[in-house]
Chains A and B, each alone.
Chain A
Amino acid sequence: MTMGSDAPPIIQVSDVTVGYDHHIVLKDVTFEVGAGEVFCILGGSGCGKSTLLKHMIGLHRPLTGRILIDGTDIVTAEGEERRALLGRIGVAYQNGALFGSMSLIENICLVLEEFTSLPRQAMQTIARMKMKVVGLQDAGDRLPSELSGGMRKRAAIARALALDPKILFLDEPSAGLDPITAAQLDDLIVELSQTLKITFVIVTHELASIFAVADHVIMLDKERQTIVARGSPEELRDRSDDPWVRQFFHRESSAAGIRR
């Protein structure tokens, strides 16, 4: 959890502008993610957090700029190079995006089938191992529709872990979860980060999660359409001069003040 900024960068985003058609969402976004750190992208609703994430995992093409993931430019990589890169990253989507017609084990095996030619038995065992690591060892035969929200997020992480990725992207992992389940998920992220040394890129706006897991954060703003603050969560909370950042981090206390 504390690799710090001295770790060599594994993701480099430089001068990226993203948007749809002629509508620009974010411009001149530049940041680096160090290997092994837990990196959070913060911002209010509609500021382009998820859009930025979708660009980082190669779903969309940025209008300008470069996105280097583990040494490969995901924007221009094609064919075998792109496939190899996709094998080194895992993504857990906001609502899990588990395939509804397959059991959780089958969901994980699908990835393994695509990227390896291990024997069937081996894939089953590996899938069960991933389920164990996220604490779902007894739910392997269930369908996604039979799971609670928190379990679905865990299962999504298990599937994202299928290929032992170097980098894991999580889109709003604690959205829609109760505080206890969300805290458990944060614990899981910290644990995975420490034991497996995976780099995490997490899109979130949950303050509690940010302080629990993040080494570094960047903060996006809808109005200014770019990064308005960067640093450790504590730095942003205690030392930022930006009114918007202060408002974001002190929302709870000011709201409490009003109530009093």
Chain B
Amino acid sequence: MYVSGLAARAVRVRRRLGALEHGWEEGFWARKAVVDSGAASLDYEQFEERGLRLVLKGTLNAADAQRFWPQVMQKVAQCDPSAIEVDAGGVESLDTAGMALLLELKAGQEQRQRGFRIQGLRDDLTELMRRFDPGPPAPPKPAPPWLVRAIHRVGEISHGSLVGFHTQVAFLGEIFVRLLSVLVRPRRLRWADTFLIAEKAGANAVGIVALMGFLIGLILAFQSAIGMRKFGAEIYVADLVVLVLFRELGPLITAFILTSRSGSAFAAELGTMKVNEEVDALVTMGVDPVQFLALPRLVAAICVMPLLTLFNELFGLIGCGLVMRSFGFPVAAYIDQIQEAASLGDLFGGLVKTFVFGALIAGIGCLRGLQTGNSPSAVGDSATRAVVSGIVAIVVADGVFAVLYYYLGV
């Protein structure tokens, strides 16, 4: 490992040097040099009491600047000269890296209120340097103490999440009202879009949803069999799996899949439209973006979510059945056991949740999309936030349902 690391580093260094030779030395300034390309020389002399004179000769380019830079800075730090004089009479050309060295010395001396002058530099080069001189760097703004920053940050985050929660609830409320109005006047919904989205979010997700269901059923059966075996009650693995799938895991897993597949896609689609000013175009054309963009997605998600959940649960039961079969139970006994363990109430109790989950996924995905900012990473941020807040919202809603069902006795 170490040796290969060294070798890689050597290659990198060589590549860098190669780039220097080709990239910089053949750069513009080097072209003007008559002879001695890339062979600048530097000497130090003392003058007057504590003055430092640098005698530069040749073509000062990036490679030389790189060589001289640490050396010169060290020398200046050691001598702490009252004045620096650069004798540049022998400089044939210099590129911006060479100029940077001289300008850096100048800025340093000016900051210490010491003298600096360049002598003998050709007029055209002097003029060029004047053009490039950026002046002293702006002083860094004093940062507030860390405690103030920490408190500020905590406040910012808390305020941000409170406001975020508020907009989320407000948006979901608004979109729900629109949904009711569509129920009254179904023609107002863009059905073609809705079907297309339903196909993308629903039909195309059947494979992954079924696979996840199958594997979860299989895993659940194996894991619970360990405990049940102690009591010789392996047949009850079926009870456990079917109840868990119908009441909790089926809806939850499907919701997670839909969030990560489609919630993020909604946010990215709407976010890109926002960045491309398509959303603004809708507003100026008098088309309500929520009605036009969010509602079809909401309806599609609400429609496909229960269907996907059913698929998920069916394949979960198949996975569990496979395990039960391998334990030696006949298929008929397994089906019998399921029928006895789970009621239709369990199934529908779970499915009711999926409508809410679907609405949350689409609502939050669209909200995050419409909230997208303008920076290049904004769309990615929106997709991330759509998934994160989608998952949080789903779990919170699931908790509310758990309490509700407990008291209702479902």
Question: Which residues does chain B contribute within 8 Å of A163, judged by CB atoms?
Answer: 23-24, 27
Q: Is the CB of B100 within 8 A of A80?
A: no
Question: Which residues does chain B contribute within 8 Å of A197, judged by CB atoms?
Answer: 28
Interface size for B (C-beta < 8 A) is 42
Q: From residue B263, how far is it (CB to closest CB) to chain A in Å?
A: 25
Question: Which residues does chain B contribute within 8 Å of A116, judged by CB atoms?
Answer: 16, 19-20, 23-24, 62, 66, 97
B399 within 8 A of A: no
Stretch with Cβ within 8 A of B (4 or more), from A55-63, A124-132, A247-255 = A124-132
Q: From residue B162, how far is it (CB to closest CB) to chain A in Å?
A: 26
**Do A122 and B96 contact each other (CB < 8 Å), given the known contacts A80-B15, A100-B376?**
no
Q: Is the CB of B135 within 8 A of A119?
A: no
**Do A122 and B134 contact each other (CB < 8 Å), given the known contacts A163-B24, A198-B28?**
no
Contact with B along A126-156 (1 / 0, CB 8 A): 1011111100011001010100000000000
**Count the A-B residue pairs with Cβ separation under 8 angstroms: how many?**
122
Set B20, B95, B107, B131: member contacting A164, Cβ < 8 A: B95
B18 within 8 A of A: yes
Q: Is the CB of A130 within 8 A of B66?
A: no
Cα of A100 to Cα of B377 in the assembled complex, Å = 8
Stretch with Cβ within 8 A of B (4 or more), from A16-24, A82-90, A210-218 = A82-90
**Do A125 and B134 contact each other (CB < 8 Å), given the known contacts A87-B23, A101-B377?**
yes
A165 within 8 A of B: yes
Interface size for A (C-beta < 8 A) is 36
B375 within 8 A of A: yes
Question: Which residues does chain A contribute within 8 Å of B66, judged by CB atoms?
Answer: 116-119, 122
**Do A87 and B24 contact each other (CB < 8 Å), given the known contacts A122-B65, A129-B133?**
yes
Interface residues of A (CB under 8 A from B): 80, 83-84, 87-88, 100-101, 115-119, 121-122, 124-126, 128-133, 137-138, 141, 143, 145, 163-166, 195-198
Contact with A along B62-102 (1 / 0, CB 8 A): 10011001100100000000000000000000011101110
Q: Is the CB of A196 within 8 A of B28?
A: yes
Q: Is the CB of B128 within 8 A of A195?
A: yes
Q: From residue B38, how far is it (CB to closest CB) to chain A in Å?
A: 14
Cα of A125 to Cα of B137 in the assembled complex, Å = 9
Q: From residue B210, how far is it (CB to closest CB) to chain A in Å?
A: 38
Question: Which residues does chain B contribute within 8 Å of A196, judged by CB atoms?
Answer: 28, 128
Cα of A206 to Cα of B22 in the assembled complex, Å = 35
**Do A195 and B19 contact each other (CB < 8 Å), given the known contacts A121-B104, A126-B100, A165-B28?**
no
Q: Is the CB of B103 within 8 A of A125?
A: yes
Set B99, B103, B134: member contacting A137, Cβ < 8 A: B134
Residues of A contacting B: mostly = helix
Set A84, A122, A131, A143: member contacting B19, Cβ < 8 A: A84
Cα of A163 to Cα of B62 in the assembled complex, Å = 9
B195 within 8 A of A: no
Set B22, B28, B138, B375: member contacting A80, Cβ < 8 A: B22
Cα of A256 to Cα of B200 in the assembled complex, Å = 52
Q: Is the CB of A118 within 8 A of B104?
A: no
Q: From residue A61, how far is it (CB to closest CB) to chain B in Å?
A: 22
Residue of B nearest to A72 (CB): B22
Cα of A143 to Cα of B127 in the assembled complex, Å = 30
Q: Is the CB of B128 within 8 A of A132?
A: no
B288 within 8 A of A: no
Q: From residue B23, how far is it (CB to closest CB) to chain A in Å?
A: 3
Q: Is the CB of B28 within 8 A of A129?
A: no
Q: Is the CB of A129 within 8 A of B132?
A: yes
Cα of A130 to Cα of B133 in the assembled complex, Å = 9
Cα of A122 to Cα of B101 in the assembled complex, Å = 7
Further 17 A-B residue pairs, CB within 8 A, beyond A122-B69, A122-B101: A80-B15, A80-B22, A83-B18, A84-B19, A84-B26, A87-B27, A101-B375, A115-B19, A116-B19, A122-B97, A126-B100, A129-B99, A130-B96, A131-B134, A132-B133, A145-B374, A196-B28
Q: Is the CB of A164 within 8 A of B103?
A: no
Residue of B nearest to A197 (CB): B28
Q: From residue B359, how far is it (CB to closest CB) to chain A in Å?
A: 34
Cα of A196 to Cα of B127 in the assembled complex, Å = 11
Question: Which residues does chain B contribute within 8 Å of A84, judged by CB atoms?
Answer: 18-19, 21-23, 26
Q: Is the CB of B104 within 8 A of A195?
A: no
Question: Which residues does chain B contribute within 8 Å of A141, judged by CB atoms?
Answer: 138
Q: From residue A112, how far is it (CB to closest CB) to chain B in Å?
A: 9
Question: Which residues does chain B contribute within 8 Å of A118, judged by CB atoms?
Answer: 62, 65-66, 69, 97
Set A122, A138, A166: member contacting B28, Cβ < 8 A: A166
Going nearest first, the 6 A-B pairs with the smallest beta carbon separation are A87-B23, A84-B22, A100-B376, A128-B134, A132-B134, A125-B100
Cα of A145 to Cα of B374 in the assembled complex, Å = 8
Cα of A195 to Cα of B128 in the assembled complex, Å = 7
Q: From residue B378, how far is it (CB to closest CB) to chain A in Å?
A: 9
Residue of B nearest to A161 (CB): B96
Q: Is the CB of A88 within 8 A of B27?
A: yes
Q: From residue A185, how far is it (CB to closest CB) to chain B in Å?
A: 17
